Structure 1
Amino acid sequence: MSSLQEDVVQENLRTVVDPELGVNIVDLGLIYGIQVEGSNVTVKLTLTSPACPLGAVIQSQAHMAVKKLPWVENVKVDLVWTPRWDPRTMASEDAKMQLGIL
């Protein structure tokens, strides 16, 4: 993620909080990629586990957070499972502190 538009998308995704953990999905390391092509945005998102009971809610909230951007017309949020999410290596330092990992 390097473009200004991708950075803006990422900042909007920070408004999406995992309801079980109380930490936003960006700091948790659940965003695996953001691709912007004109007014089309694709987000690659994982969940804390494949059995996450609130996965559909998180996916929907991510979609809505990106769709709020005035220049975005189409949003696609793809769930991916590889690599498997590991908070010890993927979460930000702040998220690790909130999760009690540090």
Structure 2
Amino acid sequence: MTTELSNDKNAHVVDALRTVMDPELQLDVVALGFIRSVDVEHNPIKVKMVLTTPFCPYGPMLVKQIKDAAEKATDSEAHVEVLHEQWNPEMMEDPTLFGFF
């Protein structure tokens, strides 16, 4: 998990993002390491994320759910940026969940 996620100010947003599940992998987007940073110091709130692949068919749905969860947690507007960095299992909170390591 990045430092930006472990910040106390961001904890309530990160907790809200744990309710967003990847429909294929059946884990939340925080546990999977999709969420790279959360910034609640600005308006709109900024969430940076990655996807398993640039062509992820669930990408638009996940972005909307992440945006909605962040906005609900803070009662303010959120902007979700999908980074060009590609996801890999080492980004997970616990990479052993899928037996990768």
Report the TM-score, using the length of structure 2 for normalisation.
0.85
Q: Specify the alignment match of 2:87 in structure 1.
A: 85
Q: Specify the alignment match of 2:64 in structure 1.
A: 60
2:17 to 13, 18, 22: 13
How many Å separate the matches in 1 of 2:29 and 2:66?
Answer: 9
Q: Is 1:96 aligned with 2:99?
A: no
Q: Specify the alignment match of 1:24 in structure 2.
A: 28
- 3-state secondary structure, aligned to 2:40: strand
How many Å separate the matches in 2 of 1:24 and 1:80?
Answer: 18
Unaligned runs of 5+ in 1: none
Q: Specify the alignment match of 2:75 in structure 1.
A: 72
1:39 Cα offset (Å): 5.2
Cα root mean square deviation, aligned: 1.7
Check the 8 A contact 1:34/1:42 in 2, yes or no. yes
